Chains A and B, each alone.
Chain A
Amino acid sequence: MGKLLRKIFLVDLFQGLLVTFRYQQPKYIYTERYPEQRPKVAERYRGAPRLNINPDNGETLCISCNLCALACPEALIVVTSERNETTKRKELTTFTYDTSRCMFCGLCEDACPVDALELTQDFEMATYTREGQIWDRQMLEEGPKPTQYKC
């Protein structure tokens, strides 16, 4: 009898509708309004790569040891260097990072012995061309410059 009454009075449907209407309150809004409100990503976020420079003298921290290139599963990092005849040390000439093939696994970052290569919190890396995805040393040092939208 109770079962029949529940069926006639659509108890199961109203039970579900009650849940839906409970969430109509504005305080339950969960949507991020992305271009205006930029999300705060976590501290350990693995985003755009960056080649760090020494803030004191502007020189690169990279010692061109090539460990990141060897650690990369996709072999997308190319490091070239030449030996300075006066100091007998390797000096970085070019550093190319193909972000179009990168899967942001973080293995290059782990391999770096001097914390020169780092995956940063920048996540806006879209470009209009495939060539734009291949980052050279200057791009890696400066980082991406996404358009900021204001409302």
Chain B
Amino acid sequence: MPDATFLDSTELVLNMGPQHPSTHGVLRVILKLDGEKVLGTDCVIGYLHRGVEKIAENRTFAQFNPYVDRMDYVAAVSNGLGYCLAVEKLLNVEAPPRAQAVRVILTELNRIASHLVWLGTHALDIGAITPVFYCFREREEALKIFEKYCGARLTTHAFRIGGLLYETYDGFEQDVRDFCAMFGPKVDEYEELLTNNRIWVSRLKGVGILSAEECKEYGVTGPVLRAAGVKWDLRKAQPYSGYEKYDFEIPTAQNGDTYDRYIVRMQEMRQAVRIIEQAVAAIPEGPIMGKVGKVIKPAVGEAYVSIEAPKGELGYYVVSDGSTQPYRCRVRPPSFVNLQALDRMVRGGLVADVVAIIGTIDIVLGEVDR
């Protein structure tokens, strides 16, 4: 923490947050400034700490499932998938092919919804007010599919350990196909609004550069890593839930600045549409629930499963002591790890760039603080 007593007369310590609207929640950033220039930052987190990992120790495996939705509440379905896969690995069961296909469709829809929230709020922070309305309009269509499928829009609780509880509703395939057909042209519209816009380009190009080596040192994953030119996506590197069956590309960029991260996320939305189209064309018939008993009681052991969440690598480490409750459940949240690179990215920049960089990391404070 920058100490006030050792400040030069030109230096200033400024608190940004925890109520600042551009910190995407309750993040407090202590900035050490020289005029407009940022000399250093310090993040203060924990304002949204709810002790989710401790709650897990006092709940059964099935009972903890709704809580994981409340960590990264913008991408609740991805969280549910990660937790279910971890417990399934512990139980040594696999979800049936039909369940896997539906899981892929819903997680990719959620990836689009999460990126749309990111795009809208990131553009809003920088001063482009229009995209947020368009983004939330399209996100609404994805949330309607979640609502029809599982009964909730945001904290979905869509998956159960071993597969799915709900069979797809009548017209599910058609709704998903309609969404894909509708969404492709909408991404073009967002790009028309932003990609070549001179204000947008000059606010983002060359801001918050994080090179590939630095990304690896900090353990940064997700679009931030791919924007630095590293072709790393867990859906390709360690396929789970049947991702090896789908044909898609990993979008990358070279410079690792804020503009490249924007380009990578826009391309990811297009790739997500591609995956959904392939998955919905071939949903296999069959059961939706694997061989899991009514009471989930895994043998003594531990399992770690990491998935590619919209924000990066999301890992669940679950330890069982043979009872119905997890002995320990550790979460590796992508936002928390990516946030650690904030200081490196903003150092030497301007105060206005801090807002742009916090937006580009795409943090959700529910996940950072847990």
Q: Which residues of A are interface residues toward B (Cβ below 8 A)?
A: 7, 11-13, 15-16, 18-20, 23, 30, 41-46, 71-73, 103-107, 110, 119
B152 interface hit (Cβ, 8 Å): yes
Q: Assuming A42-B147, A46-B152, is B192 touching A15 (CB within 8 A)? A: yes
Whether the Cβ atoms of B198 and A12 lie closer than 8 Å is: yes
Stretch from B13-21, B26-34, B56-64, B87-95 at the A interface: B56-64
Min CB distance A125 to B, Å, is: 15
Min CB distance A16 to B, Å, is: 4
Whether the Cβ atoms of A106 and B189 lie closer than 8 Å is: no
A residues near B63, Cβ cutoff 8 Å: 71-73, 107
Whether the Cβ atoms of B130 and A20 lie closer than 8 Å is: yes
B236 interface hit (Cβ, 8 Å): no
Min CB distance B167 to A, Å, is: 11
From the candidates A7, A110, A119, name the one contacting B165 in the complex (CB within 8 A).
A110
Whether the Cβ atoms of A16 and B192 lie closer than 8 Å is: yes
A104 to B76, CA, bound (A): 14
Min CB distance B324 to A, Å, is: 11
A-B pairs under 8 A by CB, number: 67
From the candidates A12, A42, A45, A103, name the one contacting B196 in the complex (CB within 8 A).
A12
Can you give 27 A-B contacts (C-beta < 8 A)?
A: A11-B196, A12-B196, A12-B197, A13-B198, A15-B196, A16-B192, A16-B197, A19-B193, A30-B137, A30-B140, A42-B144, A42-B151, A43-B169, A44-B147, A44-B151, A45-B151, A46-B151, A46-B152, A73-B64, A73-B67, A103-B66, A104-B152, A105-B66, A105-B155, A107-B63, A107-B66, A110-B165
B residues near A46, Cβ cutoff 8 Å: 151-152
A16 to B199, CA, bound (A): 12
Going nearest first, the 4 A-B pairs with the smallest beta carbon separation are: A105-B66, A44-B151, A73-B63, A46-B151
B residues near A105, Cβ cutoff 8 Å: 65-66, 155, 157
B124 interface hit (Cβ, 8 Å): no
B residues near A72, Cβ cutoff 8 Å: 63
Min CB distance B82 to A, Å, is: 17
A103 to B130, CA, bound (A): 33
Whether the Cβ atoms of A44 and B192 lie closer than 8 Å is: no
**B137-161 near A? 1/0 per residue, CB < 8 Å:** 1001000100111111001010000
From the candidates B66, B67, B155, B194, name the one contacting A16 in the complex (CB within 8 A).
B194
B residues near A23, Cβ cutoff 8 Å: 134
Min CB distance B185 to A, Å, is: 11
B166 interface hit (Cβ, 8 Å): yes
